[in-house]
Amino acid sequence: MKKNTTTIYSFIPLAFFITSFFITSFFAMLFFTAALLAGETREFVLENDSLKRIISTTDGQKLQTTEIVNKLNNIAVKPTAAPEFRIRLSEGTDKLTTAFTLDSGDFTVKNAVKKTQQNKSGKTELLEFVLECKKYPIAVTVIYSLDAADFFMRKKLTIQSEFDFVLERVDVEALGLEDAYQPYKRRDITADASGLWNPGLGQPLYGTKSGTFWGIEFPAADNCVVNGELIAGYLYGRKLAKGTIYSSYPAVLGVADDSEFVRAALFEYIEKTRKRPLRLQIQYNSYFDHGGVDRKSIARSVTTIHQELVVNRGCRPLSAYVIDDGWQNSGLDWSDKVWKVNTNKFDADFAGTRKLVKEFGSELGLWLSPGCLFGASNAIKKMEAKGFESIAPWMSMAGPKYMQALEDRMAELTQQGIGFFKLDGIFGHGNIRNFELHGSRYGLPEMPQLDIDDFTGNDKRLNDSKYDELKIYYLSAGTERLIQLFERLAKINPDIYLVISNGAWLSPWWLQHADAAWMTNAGDASRGSSRNEELVYRDERYYKFYTLQNAQFPLYAIFNHEPRKVNSDEPNDTFRKYLYMNFSRGTAFIEMYLKPRNIADADWDVLAEGLKWTYEMFPTFRNAQMHGGNPTKKEVYGYAAWNEKLGYISLHNPADKPQQYSVTLDRKFGLPLEKNNDNKNKNNTYYVNSPVDEDIRDLPKTVQFGDSLTFKLNPREIRIICFSKTPKNWTDIKTLKK
């Protein structure tokens, strides 16, 4: 809510009033000529072959978007209102009467510049508008940028003031759009609630008619549609000193060729802009293998796995071998260096273990808890005594001293040769989250008006949404600090692999900094007394976030604690079908939880077979999607993924009775369009095959785009159907040596 002039000025220093006239005169002289040249109305166009945005100024009084054109589907939309951006300022989040909001209508356009920059991929066009606030000494520069070959453009703000203020919130985009749509509507920012950690942060917005996608390139962004207005922004809540130039996180506007497939366009943009390209990461984790892991036990497992899978059965070397919880010595004082190694278990720099896995063509990875949860919690009290920031019972993800120590230690481990980190316990774990409620001692916002003096950071009372703003301030600050840490690790090792696990949430913008994220609200091990029940448990989690909640996050980047094989008490066919169904989810991050000493030769055969199927089908994983019904209701379901040359469908009938299920092989089901959009031609014929011969019973030998297939599934049956533009011999693939 905007406040009156008297209220606004109540916290501005007296010195400002003495100098404000001279500051305003300076702006006028600096931009006077440009303002005269602007005329009554000027239009500025930023466009390429994919999209166009028209921005106008009227007498230099207001900057606003007047039209957005998606050239891929030839649809134009005109905003019904164009605040264009909003910034909310105050003297402090604890001083409610000082807060005020400004949008483009509160500014005068003083200068407009169009620039062209050359880059590796071609050229970038930029439009820069310098705005001066009509009432206060605040300057905002609005920058729109578009690469010639991209199907998305960016927009960001820079903000500068002649007085100190707290920047509470930044909405980089604020437009009234009749087709604005918020696909993910859950907002469960819980401190202690079973299965209800669904923050909804960092989720995109769509245009249902225009085929557009929108968002902030920040995983903790608070994007929403309110009363037909599309708002892409985030809560910040920290103080900016006089003269400081603050640059916002960019907003992105992208387009799809069809509004029905805007999710695919979003994922294509994410893939194009992520820090590291999509890779198939297959690794071993010691979690279910060793009760007390050490250099000798891990060496035995590494040697056995390499011998059985790589040497004996021709698989590729694993991407990494990961030491889970237990390598650290939390009994030591961590005030000079956090995450010290237990040298009774491993070399201080893991030299011997790193040497072994390097000889096998792999990397050494480490489990680590940023919040010092689990086996690191004993170190917290000593760190607290030395001034490290904590939120009982864990460490703060936004504490300057602690997070710098964590960054320095992870950088040191990366320099020593650690190529993978599984970050477990970030903002909490399981059903528990921990929030900083009293962070003013290190620059975070406080809101005493909420009457929370007797609250702990994981108090159940915080589940109430009235505390959401304070909770998001902490999540935003912690996310920002983690991103800075990730950036430093990537500079040391551009190929590092980072997984954010327990305590994270599913925002596609995490993938611009990390490689995969944990599937929220699920256990480490799938529950159930049979493989069928295990699959139903895990796949119900997928169904919930992907289908029911409509979370916009690619399946290829999901971490799900599977497959698990710790004994040999099941028939080979049962393990084989479980493994194929598991891999068919399309996750490119496969962390195997094995107990090598308990696995029989036949089990290794099946595991190698499944891995070779994954190598073959991985190029399709970037397009993986779930199909069918609800696993817990015993409805047929599965996964599918396609590219221009390959495709597959997995099917699972979890019921105790036969069921029939049909699919249509069209774009909705994931099949790509041919470049000429003529999908009924001989070049779009797929050969039907399967690594399991019986799975193609009653199916034609070839299919084409648009064909329908009907499957008769036996009770608890799993089927894997593959498709290829050329015939495929799975016998040769399964027996192929490296």
pLDDT tens-digit readout, 303-351: 999 999 999 999 999 999 999 999 999 999 999 999 999 999 999 999 9
Query: Would you call 571 helix, strand, or coil by DSSP?
Result: coil
> Which residue matches tokens 């139903």?
536
Terminal alpha carbon distance of the chain:
65
For residue 420, the cross-strand partners are: 365, 497
The alpha carbon torsion through 441, 446, 450, 455 (nearest 10 deg) reads -40
Is the dihedral angle over the CA atoms 292, 296, 300, 306 positive or is it negative? positive
Check: pTM over 0.85? Answer yes or no.
yes
* Tokens representing residue 352 in the block: 């011997």
Sheet holding 589-594, edge to edge: 558-559, 516-518, 497-500, 418-423, 363-368, 320-323, 281-285, 589-594, 564-565
Query: According to the model, what pLDDT value does residue 118 have?
Result: 85
CA-CA distances (angstroms) from residue 78 to 59, 107, 419, 594? 20, 22, 48, 56
Write the burial class of residue 204 (CB in 10 Å: 0-12 exposed, 13-18 middle, 19+ buried).
buried
| Separation of alpha carbons 252 and 212, rounded Å | 10
CA-CA distances (angstroms) from residue 729 to 613, 651, 737? 12, 21, 15
CATH fold for the domain made of 5-273 = Beta-galactosidase; Chain A, domain 5 (2.70.98)
Task: Please say whether the beta carbons of 552 and 582 come within 8 A.
Answer: no
Task: Please say whether the beta carbons of 216 and 234 come within 8 A.
Answer: yes
Query: According to the model, what pLDDT value does residue 523 have?
Result: 83
| Separation of alpha carbons 662 and 710, rounded Å | 4
Helices 468-492 & 400-416, crossing angle to 10 degrees? Answer: 30
Please give the helix or strand (H or E) that residue 17 lies within, else none.
helix 14-38
- DSSP letters along 301-313, please? HHHHHIIIIIITT
Query: According to the model, what pLDDT value does residue 382 have?
Result: 96
Task: Please say whether the beta carbons of 323 and 290 come within 8 A.
Answer: no
Query: Would you call 367 helix, strand, or coil by DSSP?
Result: strand
φ, ψ dihedrals at 650, nearest 5°: -110, 145
Write the burial class of residue 344 (CB in 10 Å: 0-12 exposed, 13-18 middle, 19+ buried).
exposed
DSSP state of 40: S
Q: Within 13 Å of residue 643, how many CA atoms lie on the same side as its CB? A: 11
| Separation of alpha carbons 348 and 412, rounded Å | 12
Task: Please say whether the beta carbons of 240 and 166 come within 8 A.
Answer: yes
Task: Please say whether the beta carbons of 195 and 203 come within 8 A.
Answer: no
| Separation of alpha carbons 285 and 301, rounded Å | 10
* Tokens representing residue 17 in the block: 């009033």
Task: Please say whether the beta carbons of 641 and 722 come within 8 A.
Answer: no
Strands 251-255 and 564-565: unpaired
| Separation of alpha carbons 540 and 635, rounded Å | 11
Query: According to the model, what pLDDT value does residue 41 have?
Result: 75
| Separation of alpha carbons 635 and 655, rounded Å | 7
Task: Please say whether the beta carbons of 219 and 479 come within 8 A.
Answer: yes
| Separation of alpha carbons 450 and 299, rounded Å | 53
Task: Please say whether the beta carbons of 579 and 606 come within 8 A.
Answer: yes
Please give the helix or strand (H or E) that residue 531 lies within, else none.
helix 531-543
* Tokens representing residue 209 in the block: 């008619």
CA-CA distances (angstroms) from residue 432 to 274, 377, 429? 30, 15, 5
Low-confidence ranges of the chain (pLDDT < 50): 1-39
Sheet holding 165-176, edge to edge: 100-103, 81-90, 165-176, 229-240, 224-226
- DSSP letters along 459-528, please? -GGGGSGGGHHHHHHHHHHHHHHHHHHHHHHHHH-TT-EEEE-TT----GGGGGT-SEEE-SS--SS--S
Helix/strand/coil percent split, the chain, to 5: 30, 30, 40
Residue type, 710: T
Q: Which among 722, 717, 724 has a CA at the least distance from the CA of 576?
A: 717
In tens, the pLDDT along 127-169 reads: 999 999 999 999 999 999 999 999 999 999 999 999 999 999 9
Please list the alpha-helical segments (H only) found in 191-332. Answer: 262-273, 295-305
Domain residue extents for the chain: 5-273
* Tokens representing residue 494 in the block: 């551009």
Q: Which among 362, 352, 363, 276 has a CA at the least distance from the CA of 315?
A: 362
Query: According to the model, what pLDDT value does residue 22 have?
Result: 32
| Separation of alpha carbons 68 and 47, rounded Å | 10
